[in-house]
Amino acid sequence: MTEKRKKNKKVLAAASLLAICVTFFAASSLYFDSSKSLNDSYLNLSHFNPNATLNYEIFSNGEIIEKGNKQFDKSGSIKIDTSSYLTPEKEGKLAYRFDIQSGPQQNQTDNSAVNFLIKLDRKTGGIEYTGSGLAEFSKILVSDGSNTLETSADWAGYFAGDNLFNTMDSKNRNLMKLAFQNYNLQNDGDVDREPPVVEVLFGDPSADGVSDVQARYSAAMIMMTEQLSAVMMQQAFIIGTFFDAKMQLETQRKLQELMARAHKDYHPSEQICRFGTFVKSLAHSERAFELDMRALNKALLNEALSVQHDSAGEGSKQSVLNRINQFSTKYCNPRDNNDSLDALCSTLTAATPAQRERFNKDVDFFRTIDGKLTLDANFADGTLTNEEEDIFALALNLYMPNSFDTMETNDVTENPVSQYNARRHASIVAAAQNSFINIVGMKTSAPPGQATVAPGAWPPNILPPPPPAPALTENTGWTFMKAFIRELGLPGMTDAEIHAYLGERPSYYAQMEVLTKKIYESPNFYTNLYDKPENVDRIGAAIDAIGLMSMRDRFDSSLRREMLTGLLVEDALQTHIESNTVRIFKNIQDEQPTLRN
Residue among 387, 423, 391 at smallest CA distance from 404: 423
Digit-coded pLDDT (tens) for 31-88: 433 333 334 456 767 666 777 888 888 888 878 888 888 887 787 777 777 767 666 5
Pairwise CA distance, residues 362 & 379, whole Å: 17
42-46 and 78-81 strand pairing? antiparallel
Residue among 87, 83, 95 at smallest CA distance from 33: 83
Strand (E) or helix (H) holding 22: none
Of the pLDDT bands very low, low, confident and very high (cuts 50, 70, 90), residue 213 is low
Three-state SS for 299?
helix
Beta bridge partners of 118: 96, 129
Digit-coded pLDDT (tens) for 252-286: 999 999 999 888 888 888 888 889 888 888 888 89
Is the pTM of the predicted complex or chain greater than 0.75?
no
Residue 235 phi, psi dihedral angles, 5° rounding: -65, -40
Three-state SS for 547?
helix
Pairwise CA distance, residues 47 & 100, whole Å: 13
| Low-confidence winner among 210-214, 354-358, 437-441 (lowest mean pLDDT) | 210-214
Digit-coded pLDDT (tens) for 542-561: 999 999 999 999 999 999 99
Contacts 24+ apart (CB under 8 A), 537-545: 538/268, 538/269, 538/272, 539/269, 539/271, 539/272, 539/275, 542/272, 542/275, 542/276, 543/275
